[in-house]
């Protein structure tokens, strides 16, 4: 019999409606799994008492025959960069160790209204600034598939929690791939929505935003369920004000789907990753998709991404660090210093390059319905890799982690296009490989539909 903690969110919500599982049983099962897998260090804190109180209230509504929202009684967790009212939100930093927000972030408030039950906050590196599953406040998070490799970052704990059955769904944030990278490393699904589709009002610059809140789950259907709960317009967001921002879902088939296939992105791709992702695209073609190879040098945009990242961190976190440098990591201090030293002209040139990349994507979407690529150029890196150093791929020094390992993910943060990572196979060492799909602005629902078709197509390959 399948453990309750291993049920999908859709299955769990349906059983709760049928009264075959109670919200209390579901919450207790997830809390027990969290306790059993404390070795993975996926949570900065577990809100057990609060979750059980919410579960008992949810159970009363079930028994009273009330109309139930879509996620009623389903446990979930939230990355420690997203505000949760009355629950610590530390940003993975000693600077905010005792910070307790008064209000939920938009996505958290919407998940709550949809009936989801918060079981805790997930680990993240300090301010999510670096590709390392380690925080100076909470230590290292481990990959449940293989503890010798990274679970990815910065939504480290969220991906690990979902993969290990510590809740079927979670909310992550993505500032350069931080949902999609750990999803690929942990063999789960992670989606970065269109800019404004899920308002993220914690950001100080909503006009130049490149950080997104999105769903993580063990399958595409659950990710879509959570996405529907958290997406929608908000007049406080300059990109999410329209009454019908998101395009409605369409009937979609792989047959006739126009696919732009970016195999390299200007970077070296490890052989097994190249083979597995190419086989996935070949399977799409065999199902009738119209696949055309495309050559775009994503890696060359790393300096643009770094400029915006560094300046943004300097502006957002620099004032909090002043006089308290001993409390934060050296890599954060270095990043802030580089941001503060960046000339205004360089920043303006970076935003101009961002515009150019956006136009490149828009041109591609005149020819294609989706753009497909590997999520990462190589399988999960060793757990102790230096996130600020260079990496090797098959004996070749390929440069920095950002440019060499995830050149496929940060472009969509610069352009605002929706993208999703889903598993597409396993290496000979048993490590997961991710396939990324990207769609035009506000085609999030149709991107999820395509991803579900690809997931079904690849089910035999991935073993899922």
Residue 129, classed as helix, strand or coil, is coil
**Catalytic, out of 28, 79, 192, 299:** 79
Length of the chain equals 464
CATH code of the domain containing 279: 3.90.1300.10
* Cβ(316)–Cβ(115) below 8 Å: no
- Whether 283 and 144 share a structural domain: no
**Greatest alpha-carbon span in the chain:** 63
Helix (H) or strand (E) holding 261: strand 258-261
**C-beta of residue 444 within 8 angstroms of C-beta of residue 230:** no
Residues 198 and 300 in one domain: no
Kindly name the residue from 154, 211, 329, 421 that is annotated as catalytic: 154
d(CA 299, CA 296): 9
Residue 238 domain flag? no
Task: Give dist(CA 30, CA 119) in Å, integer.
Answer: 8
Task: Print the domain residue range for 392.
Answer: 258-304+340-462
| Assigned domain for 324 exists | no
CB-based contact 155:190 (threshold 8 Å): yes
Q: Say if residue 221 is in the same domain as residue 297.
A: no
How far is it, in rounded angstroms, from Cα 77 to Cα 9?
13
Query: CA-to-CA distance for 29 and 34, rounded, in angstroms?
Result: 9
Residue whose C-alpha is closest to residue 240's, from 79, 85, 84, 444: 444
Catalytic residue among 77, 178, 211, 329: 178
The tally of domains found in the chain comes to 2
Q: Is residue 185 located within the same domain as residue 266?
A: no
Do both 183 and 280 map to the same domain? no
**CA torsion, points 227, 150, 380, 298, in degrees to nearest 10?**
60
Pair (55, 162) in one structural domain: yes
417: Cβ contacts below 8 Å, ≥ 6 apart: 194, 361, 438, 439, 440, 441
417, 461, 423, 370: CA torsion to nearest 10: 0
In a domain, 242, yes or no: no
- Residue 249 located in a structural domain: no
The answer to whether residue 293 is domain-embedded is yes
Give dist(CA 401, CA 276) in Å, integer: 21
State the pLDDT at residue 245: 74
Closest listed residue to residue 77, CA positions, set 226, 228, 232, 189: 226
Same domain as 439, residue 299:
yes
pLDDT for the residue 2: 74
Q: What is the pLDDT of residue 248?
A: 87
Burial class (CB in 10 A: 0-12, 13-18, 19+), 88: middle
For residues 155 and 282, membership in a common domain is answered with no
Contacts with 456 (C-beta within 8 Å, 6 or more apart), sequence order: none
The reply to whether omega before 154 is within 30° of 0 (cis) is yes
Residue 462 φ/ψ, nearest 5 degrees: -85, -15
In a domain, 169, yes or no: yes
Whether residue 333 contacts residue 130, with contact meaning beta carbons closer than 8 Å, is answered with no
- What does the block give as tokens for 306? 């770094």
What are the residue ranges in the chain where pLDDT is below 50?
Answer: 464
Is residue 178 part of the annotated active site? The answer reads yes
**Quick one: 220 and 273 in the same domain?**
no
Q: Which pLDDT value is given to residue 464?
A: 47
- Are residues 9 and 137 both part of a single domain? yes
- Tokens 């595409």, residue? 220
> Are residues 54 and 157 both part of a single domain?
yes
Q: Which residues contact 48 (CB under 8 A, 6 or more apart)?
A: 31, 119
**Same domain membership, residue 431 and residue 345:** yes
Closest residue by Cα to residue 159 from 137, 136, 177: 177
Domain assignment of residue 239, yes or no: no
Residue 450: what are its φ and ψ, rounded to 5°? Answer: -65, -45
Q: Which residues pair with 324 in a beta bridge?
A: none
Residue 298: inside a domain, yes or no? Answer: yes
Annotation says 154 is catalytic: yes
């Amino acid at each position: 019999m399948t453990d309750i903690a291993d049920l999908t969110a859709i299955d769990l919500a349906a059983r709760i409606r049928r009264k075959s599982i109670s919200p209390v049983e579901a919450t207790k099962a997830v809390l027990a799994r969290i306790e059993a897998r404390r070795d993975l260090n996926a949570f900065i804190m577990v809100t057990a008492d609060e979750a059980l109180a919410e579960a008992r209230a949810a159970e009363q509504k079930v028994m009273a025959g009330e109309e139930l929202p879509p996620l009623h009684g389903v446990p979930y967790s939230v990355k420690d960069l997203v505000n949760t009212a009355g629950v610590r939100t530390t940003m993975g930093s000693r600077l905010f160790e005792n910070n307790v927000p008064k209000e939920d972030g938009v996505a958290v408030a919407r998940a709550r209204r949809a009936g989801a039950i918060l079981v805790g906050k997930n680990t993240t590196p300090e301010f999510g600034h670096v590709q390392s599953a380690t925080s100076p406040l909470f230590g290292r998070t481990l990959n449940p598939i293989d503890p010798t490799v990274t679970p990815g970052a910065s939504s480290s704990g969220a991906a690990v929690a979902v993969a290990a059955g510590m809740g079927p769904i979670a909310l992550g944030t993505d500032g350069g791939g931080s949902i999609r990278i750990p999803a690929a490393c942990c063999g789960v699904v992670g989606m970065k929505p269109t800019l404004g589709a899920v308002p993220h009002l914690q950001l100080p610059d909503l006009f130049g935003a490149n950080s997104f809140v999105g769903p993580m789950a063990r399958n595409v259907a659950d990710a879509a369920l959570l996405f529907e709960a958290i997406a929608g317009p908000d007049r406080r967001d300059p990109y999410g004000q329209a009454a019908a921002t998101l395009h409605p879902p369409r009937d979609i088939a792989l047959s006739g789907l126009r696919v732009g296939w970016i195999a390299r992105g200007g970077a070296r791709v490890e052989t097994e990753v190249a083979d597995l992702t190419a086989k996935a695209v070949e399977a799409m073609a065999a199902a009738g998709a119209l696949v055309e190879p495309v050559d775009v040098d994503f890696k060359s945009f790393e300096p643009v991404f770094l400029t915006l990242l560094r300046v943004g961190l300097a502006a957002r976190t620099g004032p909090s660090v002043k006089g308290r440098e001993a409390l934060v990591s050296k890599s954060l201090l270095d990043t802030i210093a580089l941001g503060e030293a960046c000339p205004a002209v360089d920043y303006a040139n970076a935003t101009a390059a961002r515009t150019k990349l956006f136009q490149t994507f828009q041109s591609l979407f005149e020819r294609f319905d989706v753009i497909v690529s590997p999520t990462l150029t190589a399988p999960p890196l060793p757990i102790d890799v230096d996130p600020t150093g260079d990496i090797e791929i098959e004996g070749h020094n390929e440069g920095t982690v950002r440019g060499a390992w995830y050149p496929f993910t940060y472009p969509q943060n610069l352009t605002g296009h929706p993208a999703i990572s889903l598993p597409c196979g396993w290496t000979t060492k048993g490590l997961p490989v991710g396939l990324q799909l990207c769609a035009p602005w506000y085609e999030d629902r149709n991107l999820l539909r395509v991803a579900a078709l690809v997931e079904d197509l690849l089910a035999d390959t991935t073993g899922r």
